[in-house]
Amino acid sequence: MRFIALIIFFLIGLTNIVLASATVGKLDFEKLFYGDIIDPQNHIKPIGMALIGDFSGAILENDKNEQFFIMEGDEINLENQIFHIKSISPDGIVLRSKMEKETILRFPDQKKIIEKKVVGDWKSQQLPVIDLETYKRLAKSLGAPNFFINAIKTPPVTTRSRAGRLGIVVSENLPILLLKQLGLRPNDIILEIQKVPVLETERLFSEITPDSLSEVLLEVQRDDKLRIIRITQ
């Protein structure tokens, strides 16, 4: 009887070791591919539902007190981790991580709706211009190869996103094969590079150099949806 008890004790102990090893292995695997998993609620908070021109969504505020507009289907970058906006309703905003973990951000006031009818004003405003040399310098600072830089023959077209943010339109004249490698498409609107607004070129030049980058995160608007594109060097 004592012998049987020892065998059972041994099997239970062995099972616990196997389960513990599997758990550790899973945690290491997740950290290896996703880094330290963050809680979105520590970095952003919902301000209210929003109507921006013809688009409906919500306003978020980050830990720098910067506000931005999101819609269902968008992607946002929080501490270099990408979250998908699964749904937006008066009950809250549902975010889904790359690990399929969902987080609900609750509105402080379910009835609060922020409405901005400013699309006409945006269209009437003169857009800033980036000259050709600055554009090429920007491409070079991001590590673009020389043949790509040499293919740039005209200054970029600047525009505004659906929410009025300034950006650069990806030209249809750039080499399509390289664009595919970068995850870009013609007519994408590049809004931010490494969370720096793309038209703040001097700031980009001071903060971003090819040698300092192992990967680049671009925020783009494609077909009226925000996308985060990760480019590894």
Residue 56: inside a domain, yes or no?
yes
Same domain, 211 and 132: yes
Same domain, 214 and 166: yes
Q: What is the reported pTM?
A: 0.73
Q: What is the pLDDT of residue 179?
A: 84
Instruction: Give the number of C-alpha atoms closer than 13 A to the C-alpha of residue 205, restricted to the C-beta side.
Output: 10
Whether residue 10 has pLDDT greater than 50: no
Whether residue 165 has pLDDT greater than 50: yes
Q: State how far the Cα of 230 lies from the Cα of 80, in Å rounded to an integer.
A: 9
Considering 74, 95, 117, which residue would you say is the last residue of a domain? 117
Cβ(71)–Cβ(118) below 8 Å: no
Name the domain count of the chain. 2
Considering 69, 85, 117, which residue would you say is the last residue of a domain? 117
Q: Residue 201: enclosing H or E segment and its boundaries?
A: helix 201-207
Average per-residue pLDDT for the chain: 80
Describe the chain by its helix, strand, coil percentages, rounded to 5: 30, 35, 35
Which residue range(s) make up the domain with 82? 40-117
Out of 44-48, 88-92, 115-119, 198-202, which region has the weakest mean confidence (pLDDT)? Answer: 115-119
Same domain, 135 and 227: yes
Residue 18: inside a domain, yes or no?
no
Q: What is the pLDDT of residue 170?
A: 92
Out of 23-37, 67-81, 183-197, which region has the weakest mean confidence (pLDDT)? Answer: 23-37
Out of 58-67, 68-77, 88-97, 201-210, which region has the weakest mean confidence (pLDDT)? Answer: 201-210
Same domain, 64 and 97: yes
pLDDT in tens, 80-109: 899 999 999 998 999 999 888 999 999 988
Residues 6+ away with beta carbon under 8 Å from 204:
138, 141, 193, 196, 198
Q: What is the pLDDT of residue 12?
A: 32
Out of 6-15, 83-92, 163-172, 176-185, which region has the weakest mean confidence (pLDDT)? Answer: 6-15
Same domain, 205 and 113: no
Q: State how far the Cα of 134 lies from the Cα of 149, in Å rounded to an integer.
A: 11
Whether residue 142 has pLDDT greater than 80: no
| 119 vs 149, residue with greater confidence | 149
Q: Within a 10 A sphere around the Cβ of 223, how many other Cβ atoms? A: 9
166: CATH: 2.30.42
Q: State how far the Cα of 114 lies from the Cα of 56, in Å rounded to an integer.
A: 10
Same domain, 64 and 146: no
Whether residue 178 has pLDDT greater than 70: yes
Cβ(66)–Cβ(51) below 8 Å: no
87: CATH: 2.30.30.830
